[in-house]
Amino acid sequence: MKKLIPLCTACLLALTGCNGGDATTPSPELAEPPVTTTLAVETPIPTEESSVSTPLPTDTLPLEVQPTETLPPATGTPFLWDGDPDSLTLNDFPTQLSGGMDVAEAVSALGPDDAGLYLIGQLPEQDTWLYGYYGPEDAQGLILRVGTQWHSLAIPFLTPQVLLPTMSYGDYDGDGDLELAVIVFVDGGTGTNVWGLSVVDFSNGGWELFQFADADYTAIVDLSLSSTYDPQTNLITLHAGDTSLELDPAALGYADLNVELEAGLGNWVQFATNGDSISAAFGITLWAPDMPATGVQAATLQANVVYTGSAFGLSDFSFSQP
């Protein structure tokens, strides 16, 4: 049974509407991952593998597909199939780890009716493997394999930046069982660096996918973040929970401002894991009407991600300057 997690701030869980808290409860269906909320880390670093000794889900989950043989040796030939994850056997999974550019080159060589399958992440000590599939046409997603069991996850993984997902185990909800966090690059470009967080929960002998949706963590940040502007000193102060940060708009490119600035979530969202905890980092921007420097990232809002087993929230806010 899931243990209740004490929430450290007024905006701990997203969108519940209860006592001012915020929480979201996603649907547990894998085919269309549910919508929930979460946070990020300051750099898109790989997640760390958990050292906890909690048993992995391999022994408790029902076998979804019965393997016919042991895995074949690694080859340089890409595996092509019809794109249906249900048609795979254990022999079909590639054993050679592919980098982002390797996957991009292989995908570019696919025909319109072809589908490719690529090993893009692995935790060998936990017998956990993450595959990306692409095609036919532009269909793409992930397949998670733990031992001889696997599930398809409807999470896109391939972008022009070819930054591949990372994953790590941890007891993120404190129930004594391990969950798997998967962090996937979503979007990037000038002033943009957005990653997404999903958690695969193996409780009760099943595989449930929960995603911290951008709409949910945006709502939490919007509810938690506020700002005050002092025209006498031309300083703006950011507030979130019990923390605050004073900024000089002129130093950020807002010279001769004399209008009130508005702080909001920018286009920079990252997540990271450390043992049994997940953290998030959000770029905070300042906005003012008709100002050329509008959208400058003025600060980073850090928080702990709270996962309850069915919902996400944010707690323990702190600010830093980029």
pLDDT digits (tens, 9 = 90+) for 52-62: 444 455 443 33
Contact (CB, 8 A) for 2 and 308: yes
Which residues make beta-bridge pairs with 128? 123, 146
Q: How far is CA 237 from CA 63, 192, 266, 319, in A?
A: 55, 24, 17, 11
> Please, which pLDDT band fits residue 288 given cuts at 50, 70 and 90?
confident
Question: How do residues 263-277 score in pLDDT, each as one tens digit?
Answer: 999 999 999 999 999
pLDDT attached to residue 295 = 65
Q: How far apart are CA 42 and CA 21, in angstroms?
A: 25
Q: How far apart are CA 220 and CA 303, in angstroms?
A: 11
Q: How far apart are CA 73 and CA 257, in angstroms?
A: 65
State which amino acid sits at residue 299: A
pLDDT attached to residue 60 = 39
Residue 21 confidence (pLDDT) above 70: no
Contact (CB, 8 A) for 32 and 154: yes
> Please, which pLDDT band fits residue 256 given cuts at 50, 70 and 90?
low
Contact (CB, 8 A) for 64 and 150: yes
pLDDT attached to residue 147 = 96
Q: What is the residue-wise DSSP string for 209-260?
A: EEEE-HHHHHHHHHHHEEEEEETTTTEEEEEETTEEEEE-GGGGT-TT--S-
Tokens of 263: 């702080």
Q: Find the length of the chain.
A: 322
Question: How do residues 164-205 score in pLDDT, each as one tens digit?
Answer: 999 999 999 999 999 999 999 999 988 899 999 999 999 888
Secondary element (H or E) of residue 199: strand 192-201
Question: How do residues 300-309 score in pLDDT, each as one tens digit?
Answer: 999 999 999 9
Question: How do residues 215-231 score in pLDDT, each as one tens digit?
Answer: 999 999 999 999 998 88
Question: How do residues 147-159 score in pLDDT, each as one tens digit?
Answer: 999 999 999 999 9
- Angle at alpha carbon of residue 296, lines to 290 and 297, rounded to 5°: 150
Residue 32 confidence (pLDDT) above 60: no
Question: How do residues 76-122 score in pLDDT, each as one tens digit?
Answer: 445 567 778 888 999 999 999 999 999 999 999 998 888 999 999 99
Q: How far apart are CA 18 and CA 33, in angstroms?
A: 25
Which residues make beta-bridge pairs with 182? 167, 198
Task: Please give the model's pTM, rounded to 2 decimal places.
Answer: 0.75
